[in-house]
Structure 1
């Protein structure tokens, strides 16, 4: 692997990690608000608590799991497309200068 390719891979890992972290944080906030608006209750803070019904705990887990995974997939694919387009543009500009 060339040094340039290794730098690109490292840069993508950094960008991908930041995108993943930001997406998870934002998705959790959005899904919590949607849960509260839909059910009229705050999201269950302690899934093990017997004060939270089993149906509510499972429902919240399903909503959060699916919602966060969908957000991660969409954002990761979008970020990768943008990153690849940026790299291609940067490479093309370098070729013009060379």
Structure 2
């Protein structure tokens, strides 16, 4: 693997981590806002005292983790496609490599 390919790979990994983290954060914030609008209160958190119903805690955990995981997968795939397009553009004939 050349230094340029290694740098591109490192850049793609860093970009993917940043994008996935930002998307997961945004998804969690959006879910919190939707939960509050639907239920009238914030979703339960692990550090909250035991006053939340177990069913509500399970529902919040399942919905949040599912949406955040899906958002991270979609962000990672989008970043991979973007990285491939950038890398393919750098290696086109007639361009300086």
TM-score (norm. length: structure 1): 0.86
CA distance in 2, matches of 1:89, 1:58: 46
Aligned 8 A contact 1:27 1:71 in 2: yes
Gap regions ≥5 residues in structure 2: none
Matches within 5 A, 1:33-52: 33-46=33-46, 49-52=49-52
Give the aligned CA root-mean-square deviation in angstroms. Answer: 1.6
Aligned residue pairs total 96
* Segment of structure 1 superposing worse, 12-21 or 61-70: 12-21
* Greater relative contact order (Cα < 8 A, sep 6+): 2
- Say whether residues 1:23 and 2:50 are aligned partners: no
TM-score (norm. length: structure 2): 0.86
Which structure shows the bigger proportion of residues in helix conformation? Answer: 1
Gap regions ≥5 residues in structure 1: none
Residue 47 of structure 1: how far off its partner (Å): 5.6
